[in-house]
Chains A and B, each alone.
Chain A
Amino acid sequence: MEYLVGIQGPDFVLVAADNVAASSIIQMKHDYDKMFKLSEKILLLCVGEAGDTVQFAEYIQKNVQLYKMRNGYELSPAAAANFTRKNLADYLRSRTPYHVNLLLAGYDETDGPGLYYMDYLSSLAKAPFAAHGYGLNKRFILNLPSFTVRVIDKEGIHDLENLTLGAK
């Protein structure tokens, strides 16, 4: 039961992810960060199968950083999203597909803020708002205790206060 949400504004993207790292029904960690910083203005939010999430996200993260080292400038959010989707697609029909659901949020100098929705079947959609999972607090049988919230704007990535919602 993991939750990711992103909202694109006029000059920012707001993203939030829950903080639970679970192993079947036991919460192993209450303060787990599911956001991976790809570059100064791009965040990758990743949920899905246990080992696949970290392996895949770190692979994308290191490749984006390598691009910057080789070429001297950073990948744009659109390029990073398409690179991620291509990797998912390549592994999909291999013998080791990655079962991960992703949101990529970034700010581009020319295109402005962008939010990209990707799922484990390697679909890609640029959307004004997107989510993975169930984040309902009043109507859902399980409540996620806390969420990490970040916003990306032309200045970069900023941490906002953690949301700790209880059942009202």
Chain B
Amino acid sequence: GYKVSEYLDESPIQFGQISAIQSAAVSSEEPCSASSCLPYSLPFASSQSVPPPFPMSHGTTTLAFIFQGGVLAAADTRSSCSGLVACPASQKVLPIHSHLVGTTSGTSADCALWKRILARELRLYQLRHGRRLSTGGAAKLLSHMLHPFKGTELCVAATLCGCEKTSEICEEENLVYVCSDGTRLKGTLFSVGSGSPYAYSILDQEVHWGLTVNKAVSVAREAVYRATHRDAYSGNCVDVFHVTSKGWTRRNREDLKEEYYREKERQKQEGRGRKQKQEATLSVKT
């Protein structure tokens, strides 16, 4: 039987190799069937891995940035599956605990699983040590847990946005990008996914430290909107999360289709206004 105390003592870094260690203790020659064995044999070349059904890429737009009012994270809600929209209302910004939020990109199933694993390990850390792990620490933990799967088809690209106490009175916002290929970058502005170049074009222009909360939210929405406009694999709605020292808050999900029609109306009005001005100047001349 597997006792609770044994479970609590297990190191999270061993996660990908748990069953191999157990089965090694039982019998080292016992063959593992593909369904029951966690991929201990991957990323080794001699293993049999399931070939991917289609070339996968990060079909999404997610972004996050730090400003004076905290950390803002935003993402679209389209899940695509080889040219087909599998789900128009998926959630790509997942809260991990009260002060940490993560955006996800890559394989939806992998992201959902690893976010839950990270949430579990952070909670265990909090129970064992009596304090919450910092964002940088959570990023390092996630990065080291994903390392054994490097070279396999596991694809997770997340930005962890969190706020933690650095001293008695000081709170610090942190933003770290973690990818299953091993990248771990701490920064102030990240955008991930197939729509990220378009999002970067808005963010690189508009984002600076002194933004107000409302302006920051509108910049994030605009960036996701522009990305969904041009990128086929991003679309539908936008989710915006705001993390401060008091925790995370979520804006209502907005359908970008309405934003598109509002813009079309505005362009039509401008066109009408310009035409009227042209006619006025012409009539003045003649």
Contacts and interface: CB of A to CB of B under 8 A. Distances in A.
B229 interface: no
B150 to A, nearest CB: 6
Given A95-B43, A95-B44, A50 B182 contact: yes
B147 interface: yes
Interface in A38-83: 49-52, 54-55
Contacts of B197: 26
B183 A50 contact: yes
B181 A51 contact: yes
Contacts of A51: 143, 147, 150, 179, 181-184
B179 A23 contact: yes
Given A28-B177, A28-B190, A21 B182 contact: no
B200 interface: yes
Given A28-B190, A95-B43, A95-B44, A54 B184 contact: yes
A52 B197 CA distance: 25
A55 B184 CA distance: 10
Of residues B151, B183, B185, B197, which shows the largest number of chain A Cβ atoms within 10 Å of its Cβ?
B183
Nearest to B143: A51
B196 A52 contact: no
Nearest to A22: B183
Interface string B128-167: 0000000000000001000100110000000000000000
Contacts of B143: 51
Interface of chain A, main secondary structure: mixed
B248 to A, nearest CB: 23
A51 B177 CA distance: 12
Contact of A28 (B147, B182, B185): B185
A23 B196 CA distance: 11
Nearest to B150: A51
B179 A49 contact: no
Interface in A1-43: 21, 23, 26, 28-29, 32
B45 interface: yes
A95 B182 contact: no
A110 interface: no
Contacts of B88: none
Of residues B44, B45, B150, B190, which shows the largest number of chain A Cβ atoms within 10 Å of its Cβ?
B150
A28 B64 CA distance: 12
Given A23-B179, A51-B147, A55-B147, A29 B185 contact: yes
A28 B197 CA distance: 11
Contact of A54 (B44, B46, B177, B182): B182
Contacts of A28: 177, 183, 185, 187, 190
B185 A49 contact: no
A96 interface: yes
Contacts of A21: 183, 185
Nearest to B181: A50
Nearest to A30: B187
Interface in B188-225: 190, 196-197, 200
Nearest to A58: B140
Contacts of B151: 96
A138 to B, nearest CB: 27
Interface of A: 21, 23, 26, 28-29, 32, 49-52, 54-55, 95-96
Q: Report, nearest first, the 4 A-B pairs whose CB atoms are least far apart.
A: A51-B182, A95-B44, A50-B181, A50-B183
30 contacts: A21-B183, A21-B185, A26-B197, A26-B200, A28-B183, A28-B185, A28-B187, A28-B190, A29-B187, A32-B185, A49-B181, A49-B182, A50-B179, A50-B181, A50-B182, A51-B143, A51-B147, A51-B179, A51-B182, A51-B184, A52-B182, A54-B182, A55-B182, A95-B43, A95-B44, A95-B45, A95-B46, A96-B43, A96-B44, A96-B150
